[in-house]
Amino acid sequence: MTTDSLIPLLLPLLALPVARLVVPRLPPRTASWLATGACLVLAAGSTAALAVLALSGLSLLPAVAALGRWSPQTLRAQSGVYVPASIAAGVALAVLAVLLMRAVVRYARWARTLGRALDEHDPGGGVVLLPGEEAVAFAVPGRGGRIAVSSGMLAVLSPRERSALLAHERAHLASRHHLFLMALTLSSSLNPLLRPLGTAARFALERWADEAAVRRVGDRTVVAHAVAKAALAGRPQPGFALAATGGPVPRRVSALLTPAAPPRGRVPMVVLAALVIGVAGLSAQAALDSAADLHDGIEIAQAGH
């Protein structure tokens, strides 16, 4: 096992400190993009590193070496393949493949079930009014995006708060936050160590939609009251729906009630963003170097066959 193989496997351990120290200090939109992108790159890097380790072990099998026409002894001496590590990587890849498939199946079932339920009330797009006293409000993709809101939710909000709630949900759809959510779900399935960063990114998505609602309504207090009332009256939506009740609501309300701080310049934000990008880039580069080393080793082993 080389250093290039270890780096993509170890860098996801930085997800927790990045989630706690870096993401909260960035604007919500920037934090959403950076955290989601970092999750994708780190998940891809760690998965690629596991794949290279597993393939390096498979390449030592006589049957595989015969098909590729290389010498397994030369390859092992050239690449320093560590068989136990290769076996562990193969097992880990199998487990991650199951987790990824389960996440995809869960999303497909959720989307199909929810789509059918909403079609019963309104087969078109736009806002779907759900009957009942239960306070429900969420946004879902598909058919141009739909917002589902119940009569019970509308009853607990004032007219301006209803506008704020709908503006929040429309912001989720307009900014395609469901794509961010899918990327975060897949990344966490491929590497569970990334879950803290995924949670921070989901919170940033809610804050992004909150700030979009503030710009739409023009009053931070109204948006804060709408978020708080919706959370108290309703419950977090299961599955993959984006809702105004999502994330740590007290933190969101506190951020909305806090007056916007004056700009402090772009240097701190650029430094923090560069830190996240650098970590993700290092993981990607190390994974590519590891794959290149295996390829070079195979070519040398073929020449010595």
pLDDT averaged over every residue in the chain: 84
**pLDDT reported for residue 95:** 94
Q: At what angle do helices 28-58 and 195-217 cross, to 10 degrees?
A: 150
Quote the tokens at residue 201: 């990114």
Top-confidence residue, 166 or 53: 166
Reply yes or no on whether the pLDDT at 295 is more than 80. Answer: no
Asked if 139 contacts 169 with a C-beta cutoff of 8 angstroms, the reply is yes
Asked if 76 contacts 27 with a C-beta cutoff of 8 angstroms, the reply is no
**Quick count: other Cβ atoms within 10 Å of Cβ 13?**
11
**pLDDT reported for residue 105:** 93
Asked if 83 contacts 305 with a C-beta cutoff of 8 angstroms, the reply is no
Write out pLDDT tens, residues 183-219: 999 999 999 999 999 999 999 999 999 999 999 999 9
Average pLDDT value for residue range 75-103: 83
**pLDDT reported for residue 172:** 93
Asked if 54 contacts 90 with a C-beta cutoff of 8 angstroms, the reply is yes
Reply yes or no on whether the pLDDT at 267 is more than 60. Answer: no
Write out pLDDT tens, residues 55-80: 887 777 766 666 666 666 666 666 66
Reply yes or no on whether the pLDDT at 224 is more than 90. Answer: yes
Average pLDDT value for residue range 250-257: 92
Q: What is the rounded CA–CA span in Å between residue 136 and residue 130?
A: 8
| HSE value, Cβ hemisphere, 13 Å, CA-based, for 77 | 8
